[in-house]
Amino acid sequence: MTASHELIPPEGAAAAADPAVVPELVDELSGPVETDATEPVDALVPELADADDELDADDEDDPLAGRPVHVPGRLAPRTRRARPVSVKRRRRSSALVLSLALLATGVLWSVLAPSGNAANPTQSEAVRNGQALYLQGCSTCHGLNGAGTQSGPSLVGVGSAAVDFQMSTGRMPLAGAAAQAKRKEPSYSQTQIDQIAAYIQTMGGGIQKPTVTQQELAAADLAFGGELYRANCAQCHQANGQGAPLTYGKYAPALTNATPEQIIEAMRVGPESMPVFGQGQLDDNSAKAIAAYIVASRDATSPGGDKLGAYGPVPEGLLAILVGIGGLLGVCLWIGARQKV
Q: What is the DSSP string of 47-113?
A: THHHHHHHHHHHHHH-TTTTSEEEETTEEEE--PPP--S-HHHHHHHHHHHHHHHHHHHHHHHHHHS
For residue 5, is pLDDT > 70?
A: no
Q: Which superfamily does CATH assign the domain made up of 121-201 to? A: Cytochrome c-like domain (1.10.760.10)
* Residue 145 or residue 177, greater confidence: 145
Please state, in angstroms and rounded to a whole number, the distance separating the CA atoms of residues 264 and 293: 12
Residue 239, SS3 per DSSP: coil
Dist CA 43 CA 213 (whole Å) = 76
Highest mean pLDDT among 25-39, 107-121, 132-146: 132-146
Which amino acid, one-letter code, is at 4?
Answer: S
**What pLDDT band is residue 12 in, cutting at 50, 70 and 90?**
very low
State how far the Cα of 167 lies from the Cα of 180, in Å rounded to an integer: 15
Band of residue 54 on the pLDDT scale cut at 50, 70, 90: low
pLDDT at 242 over 80: yes
Is the peptide bond preceding residue 84 cis, with omega within 30 degrees of 0? no
251, β-bridge pairs: 245
Q: Could you tell me the pTM of the whole model?
A: 0.59
Q: Locate the domains of the chain by residue range.
A: 121-201, 214-300
Does CATH number 3.40.50.300 belong to domain 214-300?
no
Q: Do domains 121-201 and 214-300 have the same CATH topology?
A: yes
- Residue 251's pLDDT is 93
> Could you read off the pLDDT of 256-294 as tens digits, one per residue?
999 999 999 999 999 999 999 999 999 999 999 999 999
pLDDT class of 299 with cuts at 50, 70, 90: confident
Q: Are 222 and 296 in contact (CB under 8 A)?
A: yes
Look at residue 31 and tell me whether its pLDDT is greater than 60: no
The amino acid at 160: S
d(CA 261, CA 307): 26
Say if residue 308's pLDDT is above 80. no
Rounded distance between C-alpha atoms, residue 41 and residue 46, angstroms: 8
Residue scoring higher pLDDT (39 or 256): 256
- In this structure, of 85-94, 142-151, 184-193, the range with the lowest mean pLDDT score is 85-94
Flag whether pLDDT at 117 surpasses 80.
no
Rounded distance, CA 176 to CA 294, Å?
A: 30
Within the chain, what is the greatest distance between any pair of CA atoms? Answer: 203
Pick from 253, 266, 256, 238: nearest CA to 294? 256
Q: How sure is the predictor about 16, in pLDDT bands with cuts at 50, 70 and 90? A: very low
**Is pLDDT above 60 for 119?**
no
- What average pLDDT does the segment 156-183 reach? 92
Q: Of 173, 176, 263, 174, nearest to 216 (Cα)?
A: 263
* pLDDT of the residue at 317: 82
Predicted confidence at residue 24, as pLDDT, reads 54
**pLDDT reading at 87 higher than 70:** no
